[in-house]
């Protein structure tokens, strides 16, 4: 079972085999890669993060390729995927940055420790100031579910917020 799969010249036929991609997907990639990268770079601020976001977006597009081809507006749907990926990457970076902040009250740590959906909902609403409709689009849930996640996040954050208010009162 551990046969040597190298060709006579020492190359590996497995490494040389390129997985076939649908021709239409390749065309979509070639037509949109530069614009996707420009958008991601504008939103994320650095080339490495932009390249990663575009790569993740195209993997997501490929994963849903058959369903996307049946959509009325493929271009609109692929841009929506890119925007979701960029938002997700922004939220991941923000959560990571929060873990590095140190405060007397523990508010940053409490925020960073929220469950993912509560974190996303609360940051999108109160930090990025997105409206409920936009948050529900991004999260793929109903507006009432967004409100629920925000309410639960606020409940989890209340002890840290109360501590923050108390600490500010002690300083006065």
| Cα separation, 156 vs 150, whole angstroms | 10
- Three-class DSSP category at 170: helix
Where b means 16+ CB within 10 Å and e means fewer, 115-136 reads: eebbbbbbbbbeeeebebeebb
pLDDT digits (tens, 9 = 90+) for 75-96: 999 999 999 999 999 999 999 9
* DSSP letters spanning 47-109: HHHHHHHHHHHHHHHHHTHHHHHTSS-HHHHHHHHHHHHHHHHHHHHHHHHHHH---SS-HHH
The label of the residue with tokens 């009250």 reads 105
* Residue that the structure tokens 């993060």 belong to: 49
Secondary structure element (H or E) that encloses residue 138, with its range: helix 132-139
In this structure, the chain runs to a length of: 172
Assess contact for 37 and 53: CB atoms under 8 A: no
For 15-50, what is each residue's pLDDT tens digit? 555 668 899 999 999 999 999 999 999 999 999 999
Q: d(Cα 105, Cα 69) in Å, to the nearest integer?
A: 50
From CA 5, how far away is CA 96, in angstroms rounded? Answer: 43
Phi, psi of 22 (to 5 degrees): -60, 135
Digit-coded pLDDT (tens) for 131-168: 999 999 888 899 999 999 999 999 999 887 777 666 55
pTM, whole model, 2 decimals?
Answer: 0.73
Average pLDDT, the chain: 85
């Amino acid at each position: 079972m551990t046969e040597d799969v190298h060709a006579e010249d020492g190359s590996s036929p497995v490494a040389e085999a390129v997985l076939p991609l649908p021709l239409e997907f390749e065309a979509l990639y070639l037509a949109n890669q530069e614009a996707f990268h420009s958008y991601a770079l504008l939103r994320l601020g650095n080339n490495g993060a932009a390249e990663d976001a575009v790569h993740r977006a195209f993997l997501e597009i490929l994963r849903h390729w058959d369903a996307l081809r049946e959509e009325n507006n493929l271009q609109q749907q692929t841009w929506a995927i890119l925007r979701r990926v960029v938002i997700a990457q922004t939220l991941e970076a923000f959560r990571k940055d929060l873990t590095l902040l140190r405060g007397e009250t523990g508010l940053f740590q409490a925020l960073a420790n929220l469950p993912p959906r509560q974190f996303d909902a609360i940051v999108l609403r109160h930090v990025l100031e997105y409206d409920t409709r936009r948050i529900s689009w991004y999260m793929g849930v109903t507006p009432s579910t967004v409100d629920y996640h925000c309410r639960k996040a606020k409940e989890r954050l209340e002890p840290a917020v109360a501590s923050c208010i108390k600490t500010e009162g002690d300083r006065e």
